[in-house]
Amino acid sequence: MQFSYLAIFLFFIILLAVLLIAPFRLSLNIGKEGALIAGSIKLAWLGATLMKMEIPPQSAAEEIRSNKDRRAGNENEDGKKKGKNERKISADNEKTGITRPPSIQSMINAAPALANIMLDLLKSILFKKFSCSLCFGLDDPSQTAIISGYLWSAASVLGLFPGRIFIDPCFEGERLEGELAVEIEARLLWAAFAVIQALRVREIRLLLREMMGWA
Amino acid sequence: MGITLEDIRLPEMDTRVLVGKEMIAGDRTIWPVMRISILKTCEDRILAIRITPLAMLVIEPTMEYAISFDGEPMTVEAVIELAASLRDVLEKARGSARIRID
């Protein structure tokens, strides 16, 4: 009997360890050529695809138009559902647990600790691949030259991915084309570690209590 | 397997003379002409960009003239020779200023 409990316990420990150590891999590919935008997003874990989303080739104008239509539709619906929404907001708050925004003072107090958490979280992210090529042009060639100088300076100062960022100024008129391919690997171990570290800081605990309405 | 002289690529300078965006001051339109020099590495990465203003073409309803930034007098033909795309601009301006008699 005791052996089976031990086996279940060990199984959960191993499962938790795998969950924390095995990296999640997020791949993002997006490109714009002419007026067409296309791309894909993929999230994989242990070789299995958890989520895959394809962005079919569509023109930027179409995308803007569909967004506008969606927004207009939402605004119409908003008018009708206003009464319903007011009731829903309180239900959503109950669901997320956040009852009110924190005070500025608590935010300021917690800022250094939050910065440390962000750094810890960044440690868990590993850029496996980063390539960006951008071809752009503004209506004024001098502005194109100035902006491209700024972009190259920023890319050099960052210095994180030398040789993988390519910016090509186009002086022949207004143009924006490019490709972005990013592959990120993240382990939950560091994220969990960052959360635990955060909960050990008094300012963060106070901030959370305030947000939950317990303070 | 040594590196031969053909394998070595030196940074190259790409120089273009371009016409900037027009500036309108009342009835007057000013077209700046500039030289953009781009210093590129052998991998086509940009090392430096230099913008040098060269001249400007000023178009008024009754006349057009060129001003050189080196202080020397400049003719309209000379500025068009510098930046050929200004020819279309000038012809368009002359066309709009022309009075049509049917």
Q: Which of residues 168-187 of A touch B (CB under 8 A)?
A: 168-169, 171
- Give the pLDDT confidence score for residue A62 in this predicted structure: 67
- What is the per-residue pLDDT across B9-47, written as a single tens digit (0 to 9) for each? 778 888 999 999 999 999 899 999 999 999 988 777 888
Count CA atoms closer than 13 A to A174's CA, side-chain side.
3
- Return the number of other C-beta atoms located less than 10 Å from residue A3's C-beta: 7
- What is the per-residue pLDDT across B41-70, written as a single tens digit (0 to 9) for each? 877 788 888 999 999 999 998 889 999 998
Task: Read off the pTM.
Answer: 0.61
- Interface ipTM: 0.75
Q: Taking CA atoms, what residue in B is nearest to A171? A: B18
d(C-alpha A208, C-alpha A101), whole Å = 10
Of all residues in chain A, the percent with pLDDT exceeding 90 is 11
Of the two residues A205 and A1, the one the predictor is more confident about is A205
Chain-chain contact of B49 with A145 (C-beta, under 8 angstroms): yes
- Return the number of other C-beta atoms located less than 10 Å from residue A198's C-beta: 20
Percent of residues in chain B assigned helix, strand, coil, to nearest 5: 20, 45, 35
Residue A160: pLDDT above 60?
A: no
- What is the per-residue pLDDT across A161-200, written as a single tens digit (0 to 9) for each? 555 788 889 988 888 999 999 898 888 888 888 888 888 8
What average pLDDT is seen over chain A? 79
Residues of B in contact with A171 (CB under 8 A): 16, 18, 36
